[in-house]
Structure 1
């Protein structure tokens, strides 16, 4: 089962994170948390891992609308966008598929919100690809 939408780009890792964050902001998302998995695994487990960041993205009006419809939706928020080094040295930007995410709630009232978030995430990925040069998109 596919549960993300993504693109693969070339460039410096930190630049891809910056471009992704800016594209999210352009679509009304704030990044509530930025988790550096590589640093966390090094610190907590003394293990090396590829560069990998989890950006917790939230669009407050859409989050409010969703939470008003389904109070337990907060367990699925914020929507995660990950940026990581692939095995072939490209950088992947991957966003959770909002349709799959809200499908867990089994509440038809959330469908229009999922569609709106999907459209915005697709524009984010397109903006990242346009700025950095897409290798492939899925």
Structure 2
């Protein structure tokens, strides 16, 4: 079972990051943190790494509802969406699958919230331009 929702995306890395942030905003998500893994590894480890960004996405009304139902849920927030350069130079976007993530919590009150977040993430990915397979 995959723990992410995935898509190969057409466009330059920076354009895909911007398009992903815009699509998240249209679905009510703010990006609370933006981790540039490539730059962090270069600075802290002195190693080269592919272009790789972690976007910590949060939809405040859904987060509030979830934390009200399960106080410890904050340990699993924000929901991460990653944009990275693949081995063949394409760009991929992956979002955590909230239904898989929240299965670990075992609280049925979160099922509808997880389904709602998943639907929104699917719309985010669907809105991004597909890469052309060769």
Fold in common (TM above 0.5) = yes
Distance in 1 (alpha carbons) for counterparts of 2:63 and 2:121: 14
2:39 maps to what in 1? 39
The structural deviation recorded for 1:135 is 4.3
Instruction: Give RMSD over aligned pairs.
Output: 1.0
Structure 1: distance between partners of 2:111 and 2:127: 24
How many residue pairs get aligned? The number is 133
Structure 1 segments of 4+ aligned residues over 6 angstroms from their partners: none
Alignment match, 1:26: 26
TM-score (norm 2): 0.96
- Structure 1 CA distance, aligned partners of 2:61 and 2:42? 36
Cross-structure match for 1:17: 17
Q: CA deviation at 1:59?
A: 0.1
Give unpaired runs (5+ residues) of structure 2. Answer: none
Note if 1:57 corresponds to 2:26.
no
Q: Deviations over 1:7-33 (max 9, x none)?
A: 001211000000000000000000000
Matched, 1:78 2:82: no
Q: Which runs of 5+ in 1 are unaligned?
A: none
Partner Cα distance (1:41, 1:119) in 2:
33
- Identify which range, 73-82 or 5-14, moves more after superposition: 5-14
The whole-number CA distance in structure 1 between the counterparts of 2:75 and 2:106 is 14
Q: SS of the counterpart of 1:49?
A: coil
3-state SS of the aligned residue for 2:33? strand
Task: Provide the C-alpha distance between the structure 2 equivalents of 1:82 and 1:124, rounded to a whole number of angstroms.
Answer: 12
User: 2:4, 2:57 → 1: CA distance?
Assistant: 14
Q: Which residue pairs with 2:91 in the alignment?
A: 91
For the 8 Å contact 1:27–1:120, the answer to whether it is kept is yes
